[in-house]
A and B are shown apart, each in its own frame.
Chain A
Amino acid sequence: MIEARDLTKRFGSKVAVDHLSFTVQPGRVTGFLGPNGAGKSTTMRLILALDHPSSGTATIDGKSYVQLANPLRTVGALLEAKSVHTGRSARNHLLFLAQTQGLPASRVDAMLDLVGLRDVANKRAGTFSLGMSQRLGVAAAMLGDPQVLLLDEPVNGLDPEGVLWIRNLMKRLAAEGRTILVSSHLMNEMAVTADHLIVIGRGKLLADAPTEEVIARGSGQSVRVRTPDADRLTAVVTAEGATAVPASNGNGTPATGQHADGAPVLIVTGLPAARIGELAAASSIVLHELTPQLATLEDAFLELTAGSLEYGHLDAEPADWSAR
């Protein structure tokens, strides 16, 4: 279990982590979500005692990281920033880490097999591709068979196969009862991986809830309604306090609101689909379609982080500001 209490980190006048409190429970994948520069990496570095907090505490199973006797046997970490000597072989990198924990060399070979780097174990890590480096990072994190894992943007730059591999690995580890905290700025990745979400923006906690709840809470329930009698339906649902707007065609341009059969499409928010159906029936309005719309995590995320973006808007290709 990871616990942050009132964790704060200032760099000069800039507050990177702002009185952050949360708990990461075992047995599930907890997503750590936020725009670039939100303080995800810094928070992880504070938990791992690489950075010193300005105030507050971070503990792992009740102990600060520095108090752990053989930390790699309790906590595994995959950092976003490089942490391998480019001139050292993958095997020697894992070997020296194993030696600091009193682990046998056989454990190194087991990890090389796990991540599929056995064949290149004696090659210098500087020659590795991004995917191979990431696998070496996973091997280092798993070396001590830790119960707690922190992964900072583990799928960044990986090919789809690598993404799938990391995703399945995390799920399997969580199913084994381990505590997994994985950071990402990719909302869709978190939607399929994480059971629970901690969302931060500008160092502040924005949400700490199950993934579905964050999605549900993020934007109001909306229902897609197609009817030839759009004006009357709009009047009826508006009278009940809901709002109805013509559907956009998805890329922000004014909606055609038309379907093949010519009936306009409305997006109604503020009423459940069942109630809209009842209202339509009571007013004898014909409906061609009545579909509840699930908000995506992206919608929820944008809503949560609106106003807390560190660097411009999210539409732009996210530059990797948090890398150090």
Chain B
Amino acid sequence: MSAAPATSVSPASAGQAQQARLAGFGHYLLAEWTKIRSVRSTIWSLAIFVIATLGLTALFTWLTVHAIQTGRAPRRSAELATDPVDFILGTGLGLGQLAICVLGVLTMTTEYSTGVIRASLLAVPRRLNVLAAKAVVFAVLIFVIGEIAAFCSFFIGKILVSPVASVSLSQPGVTRAVIGAGLYLTVLGLFALAIGALMRHSAGAIAIVIFLVLIAGGLLSLLDSYDWGAHIHAWFPTVAGGYITAAQPAAGQLLTPWQGFAVFCGWTALLLIAGGYVLDRRDA
């Protein structure tokens, strides 16, 4: 490679370094924003999230409505009529949320796999600040994208279901469910980020999060015939968190939508605290 210019290190530039202000948490937020926007996995994950969510919402809603109209799915018809919002948000977001899980994990684990965590911690040796700033920036980003996706999904679904059901934001619980979908995605992203902070390895952390989101809830529903089992199911983080995306609570649901969301937030806070503890105590 070519020789670097043998200019002096400081004279011209020392001024810039010295006149700089003392940095604080606001600067850490700015730095984390630079980090998250400057890697391709962020762009790809969010693009896949939006395209998959809106595309699948349109596809499954259209297919279901068509099936109902041609008399192929009488049971679906009843489901759609009771809570069209839950149906609409459950199709595209149900799968699109996996992209948020992956992004949440990678945001933390790529720091370790690439070694940039060392640079991050040299710059901000009070390590909890790194995790806190990262969590805040990530949450704001996912909240904005999540709400946009939730509202777009809702309006796409609303138009497509109009032949068989009518739904609007003014109906009880509907606005809360749509806003709640964005909130659920935000906390889900933080949940994944916290597991990434705890595990430090992408593959293992992604596997665990996807198991918890897609499989564990279904398995636990098998316990619903027992009283204690129903409680375990209802208080399970990803299950409790999902209650907020339905306009009306399902029959026999043990937690209200906001209670469920609070439970999900509680689990996520615990995991973030554990992740922060691990980050602070372990050698980097």
Residues of chain A touching chain B, judged by Cβ–Cβ distance below 8 Å, are: 45, 48-52, 65-66, 68-73, 75, 77, 79, 81-89, 92-93, 95-97, 99-104, 106-107, 110-111, 113-116, 129, 131-132, 135, 140, 142-145, 161-162, 165, 168-169, 172-173, 176
Nearest CB of B to A228, in Å: 53
Q: Mark B1-37, 1 if CB is under 8 A from A, else 0.
A: 1111111111011101110111110011011101100
Residues of A near B17 (CB, < 8 A) are 73, 103, 107, 143-145
The reply to whether A68 and B125 contact each other, CB–CB distance below 8 Å, is yes
Contact among B5, B20, B122 with A102 in the assembled complex (CB-CB below 8 Å): B20
26 sample A-B contacts, Cβ–Cβ < 8 Å, listed by A number: A50-B284, A52-B281, A73-B17, A73-B20, A75-B122, A81-B118, A83-B115, A83-B116, A84-B114, A85-B39, A87-B110, A92-B34, A96-B34, A96-B38, A99-B23, A99-B34, A107-B17, A114-B7, A115-B4, A116-B4, A145-B13, A165-B3, A165-B4, A173-B9, A176-B9, A176-B10
Residues of A near B5 (CB, < 8 A) are 113-114, 116
Smallest Cβ-Cβ distance to B30: which chain A residue: A99
The reply to whether B4 and A135 contact each other, CB–CB distance below 8 Å, is yes
The reply to whether A100 and B124 contact each other, CB–CB distance below 8 Å, is yes
Smallest Cβ-Cβ distance to B6: which chain A residue: A168
The reply to whether A169 and B9 contact each other, CB–CB distance below 8 Å, is yes
- Does any Cβ of A come within 8 Å of B121's Cβ? yes
The reply to whether A101 and B9 contact each other, CB–CB distance below 8 Å, is no
- Does any Cβ of A come within 8 Å of B283's Cβ? yes
- Does any Cβ of A come within 8 Å of B78's Cβ? no
Q: Bin chain B's interface residue count.
A: 35 or more
The reply to whether B125 and A92 contact each other, CB–CB distance below 8 Å, is no
Residues of chain B touching chain A, judged by Cβ–Cβ distance below 8 Å, are: 1-10, 12-14, 16-18, 20-24, 27-28, 30-32, 34-35, 38-41, 110-111, 114-119, 121-126, 281, 283-284
Smallest Cβ-Cβ distance to B129: which chain A residue: A100
Contact among A106, A145, A172, A173 with B14 in the assembled complex (CB-CB below 8 Å): A145
Nearest CB of A to B126, in Å: 6
The reply to whether A102 and B123 contact each other, CB–CB distance below 8 Å, is no
The reply to whether B23 and A70 contact each other, CB–CB distance below 8 Å, is yes
The reply to whether B283 and A101 contact each other, CB–CB distance below 8 Å, is no
Q: Can you name 9 extra interface pairs (CB under 8 A) apart from A110-B13, A116-B4?
A: A48-B125, A88-B39, A96-B32, A97-B119, A102-B24, A114-B5, A116-B5, A131-B1, A168-B6
Residues of A near B41 (CB, < 8 A) are 87
Known A-B contacts A103-B16, A106-B16; A172 and B8 likewise in contact (beta carbons under 8 Å): yes
Residues of B near A107 (CB, < 8 A) are 13, 16-17, 20
The reply to whether B3 and A116 contact each other, CB–CB distance below 8 Å, is yes
Residues of A near B125 (CB, < 8 A) are 48-49, 65-66, 68, 71
The reply to whether A84 and B7 contact each other, CB–CB distance below 8 Å, is no
Nearest CB of B to A124, in Å: 9
Known A-B contacts A88-B39, A96-B31; A83 and B13 likewise in contact (beta carbons under 8 Å): no
Smallest Cβ-Cβ distance to B117: which chain A residue: A83
Which one of A85, A87, A173 has the highest number of Cβ atoms from chain B below 10 Å of its Cβ?
A85
Contact among B2, B38, B116 with A116 in the assembled complex (CB-CB below 8 Å): B2
Tell me the complex Cα distance, A87–B106, Å: 13
The reply to whether A51 and B283 contact each other, CB–CB distance below 8 Å, is yes
Nearest CB of B to A2, in Å: 15
Nearest CB of A to B81, in Å: 47
Residues of B near A85 (CB, < 8 A) are 35, 39, 110-111, 114, 116
